Structure 1
């Protein structure tokens, strides 16, 4: 495992973090085993949020953490979302954020959260007020670092005028590369750690999915256009071609390439989602190499030639209250 420090802090994190969103929707015991397996693999970063299974992900993580020294685990969670008629809605009002952090602390069984993100930018709330609230939490010792999830570079710039931002958490993977134009350069220029989610694109980039899979009951894939025909087959073809390329040129596989696509940049962390302990088995196999510029160009060419109607992660965006 490789480790890095979160910008502007003394928080040392594994460069691969466990994304616990799926744990909030599947078997509790398997989720507990997955967290323990991740820790055994050297992963000390656990990313969660109140909306993952309506708090269930945080509860399971909190229960698992009872068996460990709290200082050994870096907890990353979020605020700024509420459920309205069963749907997630952006809300970074101080009142809502005050309620959500107290609820998160209780579910997690801790008195502080290491990295606390605004889950989505709220266009109805002044950035100055949101930043001021998080600064206050940091001064109280309830959080150790401030993160912004799903923010554009322009939105981060405005937020940074009012508070120090330590982490940015955008969707980023081989198929969803919009951050390479704005967000990633902004983070590099301003010394902000980039913590990528959807690193494996909901499992597409593991190379283990097949054309006959049924996703109608999956909490995320069911609404992701990538997993709907005929587009799904195009993505599978791209995965197969990328896998063949990196096997021939580097004796690696598509999963290795997917994670190193992110870790090949300085000051980055990749979140690896999983809800079964076996999902964590390949974690340490991805280290020991980096894709060179020529390989990256070849991968981009494969994606461009194979996927005729690509889509980004826009389907994830929640409405404004």
Structure 2
């Protein structure tokens, strides 16, 4: 299956001075979608057979998605092991893996640790797991509130110079970090951005203008934006991470979503409408999607093969036209 044959989106070419952008372009990587693997580890989202995770990863790869996002933190390392095993059957030069460092578990508590030692240990473990001397890319997962962000930047830059990683980046940074991190050789940034989380648009635009490759994650807000049941009184299991997501309990958001779900989509899924809306953003290069099941992955991949006439029909639907004013 050849994706993106007809998909027409804003031109988002970064300058070749961004080494990641140049690498993606020179190797003809599909840079629209990245498969996130947080939910594939079997934790935090209810009951799950991790055998399905292997099918999801294989389906994504075979349908043109060749970038994968993971972290040792996800499912306490399980997601990382699953991803490695699933990708073993493919040529390592045919895909990219983005890994993260800076969060860890202490029992069931989440701890920020962006220290030099923790980042180096995380990278060393990942090199062992993926059996690679040089990892594709490592990002600071979250700025550590107890440490100067330059400690993480220095560490990642040194790891790149030592040949342990090809590219590095930063996730979830704030405006106040911009002056501090100026001059560092990072290539990419990741932000939580979707229909109900648009607060970082200005920051993403500024970093894109500075020639960073910009990725967004959680496009469907853990399913809230594509499942009408979740905007009603749906109950999750006790350990489900969505119980701690305030968007699921925000009366105003739920009311707006009920109105949005009543609008016609011209036959397209909510998933496709939201992905097209995101990919049309001029400041956004790629969207990190999460799918626990092959049927959802199948729906996601449809966005890559929309014809020009289908794109016109989708963007003319009442549902899509209401997104900008949500």
Same fold (TM over 0.5): yes
Matched, 1:22 2:46: no
Matched, 1:111 2:133: yes
Aligned to 1:263: 279
CA–CA separation in structure 1 for the residues paired with 2:63 and 2:186 = 29
CA–CA separation in structure 2 for the residues paired with 1:105 and 1:208 = 41
Is the contact between residue 204 and residue 239 of structure 1 (CA under 8 Å) also seen in structure 2? no
Aligned to 1:175: 196
Once the two structures are TM-superposed, the CA of residue 127 in structure 1 deviates from its matched residue by 2.8
Aligned to 1:285: 302
Q: Report matched runs for 1:120-159 at 5 Å.
A: 120-159=142-181
TM-score (norm 1): 0.82
Is the contact between residue 81 and residue 89 of structure 1 (CA under 8 Å) also seen in structure 2? yes
Q: Which residue of 75, 81, 87 maps to 1:59?
A: 81
Residue 89 of structure 2: SS of its match in structure 1?
coil
Aligned to 1:11: 23
Query: Which 10-residue stretch deviates more, 213-222 or 256-265?
Result: 213-222
Is the contact between residue 215 and residue 222 of structure 1 (CA under 8 Å) also seen in structure 2? yes
CA–CA separation in structure 2 for the residues paired with 1:295 and 1:275 = 25
| C-alpha RMSD over aligned residues | 2.7
CA–CA separation in structure 1 for the residues paired with 2:134 and 2:259 = 42
Once the two structures are TM-superposed, the CA of residue 218 in structure 1 deviates from its matched residue by 5.3
CA–CA separation in structure 1 for the residues paired with 2:216 and 2:124 = 26
Matched, 1:190 2:202: no
Aligned to 2:45: none
Gaps of 5+ in 2: 43-47
Residue 121 of structure 1: SS of its match in structure 2?
coil
Residue 56 of structure 1: SS of its match in structure 2?
helix
Query: Which 10-residue stretch deviates more, 216-225 or 74-83?
Result: 216-225
CA gap of 1:80–1:276, structure 2 versus 1, over 3 A, is same
CA–CA separation in structure 1 for the residues paired with 2:222 and 2:81 = 22
CA gap of 1:132–1:233, structure 2 versus 1, over 3 A, is closer
Residue 205 of structure 1: SS of its match in structure 2?
coil
CA–CA separation in structure 2 for the residues paired with 1:239 and 1:165 = 38
CA gap of 1:74–1:285, structure 2 versus 1, over 3 A, is same
Gaps of 5+ in 1: 304-321
Once the two structures are TM-superposed, the CA of residue 82 in structure 1 deviates from its matched residue by 2.0
Query: Which 10-residue stretch deviates more, 210-219 or 74-83?
Result: 210-219
Query: Which 10-residue stretch deviates more, 95-104 or 251-260?
Result: 251-260
Aligned to 1:165: 186
Aligned to 1:38: 60
Aligned to 1:225: 246
Residue 90 of structure 2: SS of its match in structure 1?
coil
Residue 117 of structure 1: SS of its match in structure 2?
strand
